[in-house]
Structure 1
């Protein structure tokens, strides 16, 4: 991996400075990272989550950089974040997330970063963790994306190493654990939503089932439930059940928007210092407000579970209008969500973008009776 190679080069340059730096550095207490600070997003895990975290961080006022491997990934990342017409000259805009490639660019990003977001889906090399964290002399807090069950499963070594290096450097850590990832796009494009990645995220998805689940998650499952510790039961049965869930929330599914937002909130929340959380997506028609996030984190720490909530006026006007008539049948009674969240025109555009029509098959599975209540 080219990022790992670049970090290894940086390690040679920074190892000699570590002893003096650690000796001079005292533990930072409640080091919430404020907007305006530099943060770097990197790791071997879900690149869509990384790009999304960088884009959202820029919207929040951070100086955000996402590390990429090569030119191909650089161009794709820019397109996923802002669309195919964003950067014809190949340069990032001042107010947008920056993308770093190569040892020099990565080193420059790390040296100005007070926060690190590390995204992993499986065990990481200890050298990668060491170099990334020790290469950031201003580091105050590191936020790791792991998996449900990570504290005792395959991710245990990675989680423990993050904590170990954090203690050595006198910085704080936070761990966000996720399940199956859904969504991450803009939401209802026809309505003008711009919650996440560009519409390119939807139109280039060649798999119809995944496309529909992503669209649904980005319109109806934008709320977040935080569970303190590693206490979300994500066993083999739950994983299979979650993979079949189409239009409802459960503890096995995490919206990429929720994952990226929680990783960023973990950098700025005092309640998340040296703490770990499992996240699940819950019903929500728009991303939570900052006040809602603050209350959810405090609630999770004090009560074990915290949920984002919406107060009157929190929803954008267009979303609130949709909510007023959402799920009402002809008699005015509530009815269930529709299974899909995309229109025929949107599906046609998706097929045109990927260059061919994708036939789909409805697969009957033994779990279907369990999903019908």
Structure 2
């Protein structure tokens, strides 16, 4: 199974107690306080010596000296930073010593990094159970990385059910800088592969299709060709009736992972039916159309700029901007009729691109056709649901 992301190792913390305009005499005063045992000034000097800043020449030895003074005085951030320095230098014994010191003070970053060392057997005997305990401890201390690291640990140690549960949590958790949209797309394919190890083709198809719908194959993630082949294999193994039935799960998972945190979707969340579509009134649709035009005004402007031009470059740009608009429509596909509009725009793009051919364009056309086939299935299913809902009113 290919690795999409690595375990996290935190960087040096910057506490920043001194302004950039501090004078040399002020630095001398802080030096005096640091030597008298003031932890904040010890940290300040350690950082300046480490990076070479604000009139202090870079001196790694002095940085370590002041970090040690602060660590011995009880600063968990100083101990953590020493762990980072020694780990980067390959002195794993010292790194473990200081990570353990910071970890004992509930420094979640140290707990995460110490767990990585136990997971890899760096400076300590490899111990998956100990690594798991430390990740869970860091998670309880509100680490934003521990859930990701746990998912990788479970995956790599073949604890498949635990890995599936943790990757699902990552997928459905709020979209943030540390749990980005791009990262979640990779998570969806990780789930596909995990279900394939259990020969669970239905769930593998659901998560693989969710990844396609999210635009995974539009990205520059490495090693996608093999994953695309696996997805196509599991897709071809299922009959059309079953794939139509599984559209419900695809719509729900795509909503939970990628749509519910979109501002446009949140505005109409109370109107969303079973995580599958919203039923907006005419006035609400008009209001939403104006919002969509404002959010995508640059894309619409580009489409208008290129739509009447006949040269190859302009036509390809028109196709790309139309695909960009379709991607936005998919990202808010729970708001009907956005999936239908995405389908129309993808078809337009394919029609434009069909007149041109080179290796890059051929790859784009193949991935675009794959996305169209997915959008067709789920949008048709969504439309049937709407019709059934309207008939029961």
TM over 0.5: same fold?
no
Give the TM-score category using the shorter length.
Answer: under 0.3
Larger helix share, 1 or 2 = 2
Q: TM-score, normalised by structure 1?
A: 0.27
Higher relative contact order (CA closer than 8 Å, sequence separation 6+): 1
Q: TM-score, normalised by structure 2?
A: 0.26
